[in-house]
C-alpha cells in the first residue's frame, strides 16, 4: 500500500474514531440530563394533579362554611321549618353551588334532610345508600371533636369516587353547641374531570386502584404503587410522549385511584435535534479536518516525496544528464534534495574517475610497445594486449586461459610454468626468461615479470604482468660472454706464462676496445693504447693507480660513482654496465661507455686482479638520440593536424554544418574517439621524448622572467582567441630581480597555467597574467573569470591525474598532470605554487620563484 493511501486511511480512521467518541459521550450525557429534567418536571405535574383534587375538596369545604355557620341552618335542625328547605336546598341552589348532594345530619346521627341533582342536566338524583352510610352514627364524617376543623377529601362510592366536605352546624357567630353536621358532596364525574383537565392543560385519565382489570397504560404504574411506593411515577411512553402517574387516597388514607396525565416530550425532542445537529457539525468538521490535513500532508510532504522519487528514478534512467534535483525552501526535504545532489555528484565523479582510469589503462595497455597480460586468481590468463597479439600473431581467444603455453619453447616450458604457478601460490612477484614463438615462427627471448594485484579491500585479484623482448640483450650478453671467455683465457696465459706472453700482449694491445688489467691493489699492470685514448691520457697507463685515472659517473646522479674496477676487486665477481654511465676523460669531457669487468684468476681459482674491457658508445647514443628526436618531431608534427581533425569532427558532430545522417554520425563518432586517443598518445610520446632529450635534466640558470612570460602569452594568444577569451599581460613598474630556473621547463609551467585559465573560462571571459616583485623574488599570478574550483575538491588539485568535477564537465580533455608537474618543478627550484578560487567566479594561480640573491643567501 502506498504511503498516500496509508496516510489517508490513518487520518480518516483516527479522526473518525475521535469524533465518534466525542459524539457518543456528548449525546449520552446531554440526552440523559435532558431526560432527567423532563422526568422531574413530569413528576411535579403528576403531583400537582393529585393536589388539584384535594384543592377541589378544599374549595368545597370553603363553600360549605357559609352554610354550616349560619343561624338559618342552625335553627332548621331544631325547628325543621320546611321553608328553609324550599328556599335553600332546591335544585337551583345545588346547581349554583356545583355540587351533587347536600346532606344535613342532626347531633344524634340521623339524616334530617338531603337533596341531590345530576350536575350535568340539573335533574333530581337520589342520595346513594353507601353515601348515606357514611353519615351514620359514630362515623368519621360527623364526628367533630374540634368545631373549628372541617373534614374534606375523597371518598369512594360504588358509583365512583366523590369529593366530600363536612362541617359541624354552628350559629352565624360560629358558636356551638353543634346541632349536627352538614355535608357537600361532588361526584368525580366526567364534568369535573374536564374542568380539572382544563386547569392542567392535559388530559387526566383515571384507574381504580385495586380493580381487577388494569388498563395497559396503567399496568407499570399500578405495579409501582402496589410495590409500596407512593407519591408519583413517571414513564416515557414513546419518543414523543411521556406519562406521569399520581396516587389519590381517600379521607381514610386508603389508596383509591391512580391519575394519569400525558405531556409531549418537547425537551427530549429538542435534545435529539441538538444531538443530531451536533453530529452533523462533527461530520462536517471531520471532513474539513481530513481535507486540511490531507492537503497539508500532500503539499508539505507527499508531493515532495513524489518529486524526489521521480527525480531519483529520472537520474537512474537518464544518468548524468539530469543530476540536479531542485526543491526550493528550507525544510528537511530541501535539505534531503541537496544531500541527494551531493551524493549523485560524488557518485558521478567517482564513476568518471574510474572510467577515465580504466580508459587510460585500456589505452596504455593496448598501445604500449610492451606486451601486457593479466591473470585471474585461478592462474588462467584473461587478457593480452595488442603488443602480445601482434607479437604472436594469434587471436586473443587462442591465447587466453592456458593457450599461451603452446608458444613456449619446449625446453623452457617446464621451468616457466613452474615459476608461474609457484609464484601464484605464494603471491610473489616473479621474473622468468623463456623463449616464445613469434608470428614469424622464430623463437624470441622474452623476459616476463608478474606482480600480484589486490583490490582496495586487499582481496587478491590476480596477476598483472609485462613481457619484453630481450633477444638483443641476450645476444649481446652472449657476445660479452664470448669476450669474457677470451679475456679469461688471456688471463690464464698472463698468469701462467708470464714473461713468455709478448705475442699475446701484442694481440691485446691491438684490440679496438680499451683493455685494462690491475692487481689486487688496483694498480694498473696492463693497458692497451685504446684505453689510454679513451681517457685522453698521454702515454701508457701502466703503473698508474686506477682511481687516479678512472672516473665514472652516472648520467642522472651528479655524485661520483664507485669505479667498476674497485667494485670487482671488492665483490670478486663479474659486472657489466651498459647504460647511463659516463667516463670522465682526463680533460674533463665525458663520454658514454659500456664495460665488462671480471676478476683475473689463477689455476686454482685464486684472485690475482681485475681485467676490464671498455667500449665508447658515443655513436650508439647519438643514433638513439636521433631516434628520439625523430619521435619528438613526428609527435609535434602530428599534434597540430590531429587537433585540427578533432575540432572539425566536433563541429560536424555538433551539427554546425547541418544534421548528419545517423550512420555518418556513428562513424564520425568513432573516428573522433580514435583521434582523441591518438592525441593523448602523441602527447605522451612528446613527454617521453622530452625526457629523453634531456629537457628535464635542464640546468637552472639565472634569467629574467618577464620576456619568457611575454613569449608564452604571445605563443598561446591564438588559443585564447579561439576560446574568445581576452588575455592581458601586466608587469609591475620597476625592475624585477633575476631569478634562477630552467627556462624550458618554466616555459611549460607558465604555458600550462595560462592554457588551463583559457580552457576553464567561458567565452567573453578574461585571463590576466601579472608579474610583480615579491619578498623572495618574483610572483606571477594568472587570474581568470572562469568556472573556478569547487571548494571541497581544492585540496586535491595538485594530485596526479586529479581533475575537478566541473572541469570534467566543461572540458572532457585533460590529463590532470599539468599542475602536479608544475608544482614539483617549482618546488625543486625553491619556489612555491598556490591558488585562490571561488566556484563560478574564477581562479588565480600564483607562482613565486626565488631571486638569484635569495638562492645565494640560502
Ligand atoms: P588538466 O589537463 O586536466 O587541466 P591540470 O593538472 O593542468 O590538468 O589541472 C588539474 C585540474 O585543476 C583541472 O582538471 C581543473 O579541474 C583544475 N584547474 C586547473 N586550472 C584551473 C582554472 N584556471 N580554473 C578552474 N579549474 C582549474
Please say whether the beta carbons of 737 and 852 come within 8 A: yes
CA distance 5 to 178: 98
For 420, the 3-state DSSP assignment is helix
* Whether the CB of 819 sits within 6 Å of ligand 1: yes
What pLDDT is stored for residue 122 in this prediction?
85
* Whether the CB of 815 sits within 6 Å of ligand 1: yes
What pLDDT is stored for residue 246 in this prediction?
92
CA distance 323 to 308: 12
Atom of ligand 1 nearest to the CA of 753: 20
For 736, the 3-state DSSP assignment is coil
* Whether the CB of 784 sits within 6 Å of ligand 1: yes
pLDDT 10s digits, 764-800: 999 999 999 998 899 999 999 999 999 999 988 988 6
Q: Cα 819 vs. chain centroid, distance in angstroms?
A: 36
pLDDT 10s digits, 301-332: 888 888 888 888 887 777 655 567 788 888 88
Please say whether the beta carbons of 592 and 614 come within 8 A: no
Residue of 750, 803, 808, 833 best suited for mutating to test ligand 1, as the one with most atoms within 8 Å of CB? 803
pLDDT 10s digits, 534-576: 888 887 888 888 888 888 876 655 445 667 888 888 888 888 7
* Whether the CB of 785 sits within 6 Å of ligand 1: no
* Whether the CB of 683 sits within 6 Å of ligand 1: no
By DSSP bridging, strand 726-731 and strand 607-616 are unpaired
* Mean pLDDT over each residue of the chain, to the nearest integer: 85
* Whether the CB of 749 sits within 6 Å of ligand 1: no
* Whether the CB of 816 sits within 6 Å of ligand 1: yes
Average pLDDT over every residue of 153-164:
89
Residue of 760, 790, 800, 801 best suited for mutating to test ligand 1, as the one with most atoms within 8 Å of CB? 760
* Whether the CB of 814 sits within 6 Å of ligand 1: yes
Atom of ligand 1 nearest to the CA of 817: 6
Residue 493 pLDDT grade (very low, low, confident, very high; cuts 50, 70, 90): low
Average pLDDT over every residue of 458-463:
86
What pLDDT is stored for residue 858 in this prediction?
61
Helices (H), 427-551: 471-496, 502-509, 529-534, 546-549
What pLDDT is stored for residue 500 in this prediction?
47
Average pLDDT over every residue of 459-473:
86
* 132 Cβ neighbours under 8 A, 6+ residues apart: 103, 111, 114
Residue of 680, 748, 752, 756 best suited for mutating to test ligand 1, as the one with most atoms within 8 Å of CB? 756
Alpha carbon distances (Å) from 648 to 358, 385, 653, 719, 724: 27, 31, 9, 16, 18
Please say whether the beta carbons of 837 and 788 come within 8 A: yes
CA distance 604 to 591: 38
Handedness of CA 356, 361, 363, 364 (dihedral sign): positive
Please say whether the beta carbons of 554 and 583 come within 8 A: no
Nearest CA to ligand 1 atom 16: 804
Nearest CA to ligand 1 atom 11: 803
* Whether the CB of 804 sits within 6 Å of ligand 1: yes
What pLDDT is stored for residue 764 in this prediction?
93
Does 126 score more than 80 pLDDT? yes
Cα 823-828-829 angle, rounded to 5 deg: 105
DSSP assignment of 83-129, as one string? HHHHHHSSHHHHHHHT-SEEEEEETTS-EEEEEEB-TTT--B-PPPH
Atom of ligand 1 nearest to the CA of 819: 6
Please say whether the beta carbons of 583 and 590 come within 8 A: yes
Q: Which residue has the higher pLDDT, 563 or 731?
A: 731
Atom of ligand 1 nearest to the CA of 786: 24
Does 182 score more than 50 pLDDT? yes
CA distance 412 to 754: 56
pTM greater than 0.85 (yes/no): no
DSSP assignment of 771-783, as one string? EEE-SSEEEEEEE
Distance 803 CA to ligand 1 centre (A): 6
Distance 800 CA to ligand 1 centre (A): 11
Handedness of CA 624, 627, 631, 633 (dihedral sign): positive
Nearest CA to ligand 1 atom 8: 816
Does 244 score more than 50 pLDDT? yes
Distance 785 CA to ligand 1 centre (A): 14
Average pLDDT over every residue of 518-546:
84
Distance 772 CA to ligand 1 centre (A): 23
Does 629 score more than 90 pLDDT? no
Residue of 720, 819, 823, 837 best suited for mutating to test ligand 1, as the one with most atoms within 8 Å of CB? 819
* Whether the CB of 752 sits within 6 Å of ligand 1: yes
Q: What percentage of the chain reaches a pLDDT higher than 90? A: 29
| Highest-scoring range by mean pLDDT, 49-53, 227-231, 820-824 | 49-53
Nearest CA to ligand 1 atom 21: 756
Average pLDDT over every residue of 72-90:
90
By DSSP bridging, strand 101-106 and strand 111-116 are antiparallel
* Whether the CB of 818 sits within 6 Å of ligand 1: yes
Task: Tell me which DSSP letter residue 300 carries.
Answer: I
- Quote the cell numbers at residue 604: 686454482
- Quote the cell numbers at residue 571: 665483490
* Whether the CB of 756 sits within 6 Å of ligand 1: yes
Average pLDDT over every residue of 132-142:
89
What pLDDT is stored for residue 407 in this prediction?
92
Does 343 score more than 90 pLDDT? no
Q: Cα 245 vs. chain centroid, distance in angstroms?
A: 76
Residue 230 pLDDT grade (very low, low, confident, very high; cuts 50, 70, 90): confident
Residue of 781, 816, 823 best suited for mutating to test ligand 1, as the one with most atoms within 8 Å of CB? 816
* 396 Cβ neighbours under 8 A, 6+ residues apart: 384, 389
Tell me which residue has cell 623572495: 776
Distance 455 CA to ligand 1 centre (A): 29
Average pLDDT over every residue of 223-227:
86
Within 10 angstroms of residue 827's Cβ, the number of other Cβ atoms is: 11
Average pLDDT over every residue of 62-66:
91
Pick from 222, 220, 252: which is nearest to 236 by CA? 220
pLDDT 10s digits, 588-612: 888 888 888 888 887 777 888 888 8
Backbone phi, psi, residue 376, to 5°: -75, 165
CA distance 680 to 674: 10
Task: Tell me which DSSP letter residue 29 carries.
Answer: H
pLDDT 10s digits, 664-701: 888 888 888 888 878 876 776 676 556 445 455 567 88
Please say whether the beta carbons of 577 and 583 come within 8 A: no
Distance 351 CA to ligand 1 centre (A): 19
Atom of ligand 1 nearest to the CA of 815: 2
Element (DSSP H or E) covering residue 846: strand 842-850
Sheet containing 842-850: give its strands across.
726-731, 766-773, 777-784, 842-850, 832-838
Amino acid at each position: 500500500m502506498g504511503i498516500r493511501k496509508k496516510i489517508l486511511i490513518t487520518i480518516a480512521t483516527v479522526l473518525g474514531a475521535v469524533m465518534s467518541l466525542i459524539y457518543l459521550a456528548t449525546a449520552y450525557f446531554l440526552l440523559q440530563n435532558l431526560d432527567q429534567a423532563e422526568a422531574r418536571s413530569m413528576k411535579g405535574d403528576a403531583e400537582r394533579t393529585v393536589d388539584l383534587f384535594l384543592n377541589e375538596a378544599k374549595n368545597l369545604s370553603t363553600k360549605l362554611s357559609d352554610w354550616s355557620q349560619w343561624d338559618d341552618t342552625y335553627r332548621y335542625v331544631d325547628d325543621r321549618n320546611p321553608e328553609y328547605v324550599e328556599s335553600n336546598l332546591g335544585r337551583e341552589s345545588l346547581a349554583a353551588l356545583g355540587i351533587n348532594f347536600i346532606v344535613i345530619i342532626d347531633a344524634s346521627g340521623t339524616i334530617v334532610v338531603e337533596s341531590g341533582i345530576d350536575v350535568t342536566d340539573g335533574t333530581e338524583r337520589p342520595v346513594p345508600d353507601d353515601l348515606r352510610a357514611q353519615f351514620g352514627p359514630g362515623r368519621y364524617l360527623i364526628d367533630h371533636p374540634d368545631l373549628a376543623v372541617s373534614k374534606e377529601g375523597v371518598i369512594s362510592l360504588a358509583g365512583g369516587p366523590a369529593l366530600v366536605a363536612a362541617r359541624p352546624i354552628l350559629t352565624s357567630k360560629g358558636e356551638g353547641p353543634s346541632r349536627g353536621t352538614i355535608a357537600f358532596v361532588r361526584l368525580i364525574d366526567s364534568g369535573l374531570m374536564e374542568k380539572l383537565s382544563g386547569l392542567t392543560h392535559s388530559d387526566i385519565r383515571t384507574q381504580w386502584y385495586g380493580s381487577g382489570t388494569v388498563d395497559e397504560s396503567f399496568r407499570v404504574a399500578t405495579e409501582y404503587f402496589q410495590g409500596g411506593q407512593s407519591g408519583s411515577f413517571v414513564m416515557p411512553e414513546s419518543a414523543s410522549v411521556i406519562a406521569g402517574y399520581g396516587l389519590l387516597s381517600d379521607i381514610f388514607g386508603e389508596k383509591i385511584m391512580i391519575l394519569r396525565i400525558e405531556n409531549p416530550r418537547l425537551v427530549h425532542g429538542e435534545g435529539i435535534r441538538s444531538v443530531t445537529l451536533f453530529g452533523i457539525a462533527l461530520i462536517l468538521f471531520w471532513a474539513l479536518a481530513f481535507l486540511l490535513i490531507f492537503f497539508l500532508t500532500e503539499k508539505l510532504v507527499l508531493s515532495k516525496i513524489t518529486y524526489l522519487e521521480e527525480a531519483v528514478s529520472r537520474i537512474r534512467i537518464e544518468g548524468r544528464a539530469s543530476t540536479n534535483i531542485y526543491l526550493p525552501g528550507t525544510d528537511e526535504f530541501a535539505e534531503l534534495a541537496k544531500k541527494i545532489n551531493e551524493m549523485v555528484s560524488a557518485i558521478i565523479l567517482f564513476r568518471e574517475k574510474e572510467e577515465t582510469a580504466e580508459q587510460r589503462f585500456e589505452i596504455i595497455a593496448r598501445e604500449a610497445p610492451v606486451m601486457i597480460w593479466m591473470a585471474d586468481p585461478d592462474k588462467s590468463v584473461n587478457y593480452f594486449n595488442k603488443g602480445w597479439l601482434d607479437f604472436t600473431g594469434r587471436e586473443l581467444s587462442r591465447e587466453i586461459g592456458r593457450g599461451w603455453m603452446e608458444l613456449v619453447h619446449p625446453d623452457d616450458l617446464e621451468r616457466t610454468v613452474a615459476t608461474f604457478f609457484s609464484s601464484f601460490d605464494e603471491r610473489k612477484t616473479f621474473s622468468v626468461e623463456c623463449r616464445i614463438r613469434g608470428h614469424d615462427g622464430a623463437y624470441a627471448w622474452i623476459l616476463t615479470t608478474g606482480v600480484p594485484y589486490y583490490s582496495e579491500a586487499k582481496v587478491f585479484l590476480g596477476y598483472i604482468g609485462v613481457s619484453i623482448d630481450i633477444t638483443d640483450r641476450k645476444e649481446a650478453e652472449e657476445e660479452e660472454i664470448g669476450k669474457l671467455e677470451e679475456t679469461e683465457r688471456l688471463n690464464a696465459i698472463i698468469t701462467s706464462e708470464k714473461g713468455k706472453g709478448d705475442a699475446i700482449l701484442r694481440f691485446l694491445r691491438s684490440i679496438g676496445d680499451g683493455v685494462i688489467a690491475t692487481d689486487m691493489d688496483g694498480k694498473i699492470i696492463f693497458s692497451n693504447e685504446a684505453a689510454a685514448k679513451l681517457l685522453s691520457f698521454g702515454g701508457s697507463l701502466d703503473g698508474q693507480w686506477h682511481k687516479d685515472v678512472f672516473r665514472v659517473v652516472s648520467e642522472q646522479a651528479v655524485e661520483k660513482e664507485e669505479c667498476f674496477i674497485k667494485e670487482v676487486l671488492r665483490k670478486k665477481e663479474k659486472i657489466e654496465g651498459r647504460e647511463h654511465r659516463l667516463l670522465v676523460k682526463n680533460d674533463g669531457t665525458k663520454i658514454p661507455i659500456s664495460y665488462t669487468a671480471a676478476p683475473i684468476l689463477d689455476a686454482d681459482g685464486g684472485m690475482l686482479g681485475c681485467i676490464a674491457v671498455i667500449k665508447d658508445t658515443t655513436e650508439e647514443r647519438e643514433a638513439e638520440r636521433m631516434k628520439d628526436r625523430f619521435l619528438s618531431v613526428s609527435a609535434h608534427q602530428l599534434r597540430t593536424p590531429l587537433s585540427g581533425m578533432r575540432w572539425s569532427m566536433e563541429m560536424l558532430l555538433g551539427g554546425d554544418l547541418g544534421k548528419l545522417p545517423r550512420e555518418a554520425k556513428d562513424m564520425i563518432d568513432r573516428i573522433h574517439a580514435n583521434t582523441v586517443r591518438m592525441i593523448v598518445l602523441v602527447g605522451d610520446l612528446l613527454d617521453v621524448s622530452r625526457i629523453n632529450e634531456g629537457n628535464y635534466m635542464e640546468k637552472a640558470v639565472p634569467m629574467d622572467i618577464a620576456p619568457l612570460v611575454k613569449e608564452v602569452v604571445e605563443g598561446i594568444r591564438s588559443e585564447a582567441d579561439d576560446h574568445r577569451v581576452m588575455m592581458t599581460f601586466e608587469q609591475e613598474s620597476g625592475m624585477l630581480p633575476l631569478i634562477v630556473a630552467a627556462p624550458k621547463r618554466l616555459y611549460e609551467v607558465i604555458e600550462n597555467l595560462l592554457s588551463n585559465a583559457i580552457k576553464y573560462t567561458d567565452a567573453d571571459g578574461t585571463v590576466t597574467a601579472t608579474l610583480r616583485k615579491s619578498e623572495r623574488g618574483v610572483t606571477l599570478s594568472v587570474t581568470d573569470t572562469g568556472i573556478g574550483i569547487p571548494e571541497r575538491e581544492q585540496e586535491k588539485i595538485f594530485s596526479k591525474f586529479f581533475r575537478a568535477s566541473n572541469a570534467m564537465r566543461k572540458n572532457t580533455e585533460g590529463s590532470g598532470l599539468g599542475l602536479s608537474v608544475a608544482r614539483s618543478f617549482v618546488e625543486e627550484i625553491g619556489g612555491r605554487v598556490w591558488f585562490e578560487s571561488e566556484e563560478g567566479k574564477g581562479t588565480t594561480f600564483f607562482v613565486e620563484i626565488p631571486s638569484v640573491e635569495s638562492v645565494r643567501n640560502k
